[in-house]
Amino acid sequence: MLISIAQIIGGFILLVWGADRLVAGASALARNFGVSPLIIGLTIVAFGTSAPELVVSGVAAFRGNPGLAVGNAIGSNIANIGLILGLTAVVYPLRVESETLKREYPLLMLIMIASLIMASDLVFDRTEGWLLLMGLVALIIWMIQFGLRRGPDDPLAEDFDAEIPKDMPTGYAVLWLIVGLIILPMSSKFLVDGAVFIARSLEVSETVIGLTIMAFGTSLPELAAALTSALRQEDELAIGNVIGSNMFNILGVLGIAAVVNPVEVDMLILKQDFPVMFLFTMLLFFMAYGIQGPGRISRRSGIMLLSFFVAYQILIWVTAARVVPVATT
Q: Please state which of the ranges 137-141, 163-167, 173-177, 187-191 shows the lowest mean pLDDT.
A: 163-167
- For residue 233, pLDDT over 60 is answered with yes
CATH (domain of 183): 1.20.1420.30
8 A C-beta contact, residue 242 and residue 223: no
Greatest mean pLDDT among 97-111, 179-193, 233-247: 179-193
Q: State pLDDT tens for residues 89-126.
A: 898 888 776 565 667 788 899 999 999 999 999 999 99
How far apart are the two ends of the chain, measured CA to CA in Å? 18
Report yes or no on 165 lying in a domain: yes
| Rounded Cα–Cα distance for residues 101 and 38 (Å) | 12
pLDDT at residue 155, rounded to an integer: 61
pLDDT at residue 100, rounded to an integer: 55
Q: Which residue has the higher pLDDT, 68 or 277?
A: 277
Cα distances from 156 to residues 180, 210, 238, 260, in angstroms, run: 26, 32, 10, 35
Which pTM does this prediction carry? 0.84
Report yes or no on 26 lying in a domain: yes
- Count how many domains the chain has: 1
Structural domain boundaries enclosing 295: 2-323
Report yes or no on 157 lying in a domain: yes
Report yes or no on 328 lying in a domain: no
Find all residues with CB under 8 Å of 238, minimum gap 6, and list them: 85, 88, 94, 225, 226, 227, 229, 230
Report yes or no on 329 lying in a domain: no
pLDDT at residue 322, rounded to an integer: 42
- For residue 77, pLDDT over 60 is answered with yes
Q: State pLDDT tens for residues 157-179.
A: 666 666 677 788 888 889 988 88
> CA gyration radius for the chain?
19
pLDDT at residue 255, rounded to an integer: 94
pLDDT at residue 277, rounded to an integer: 96
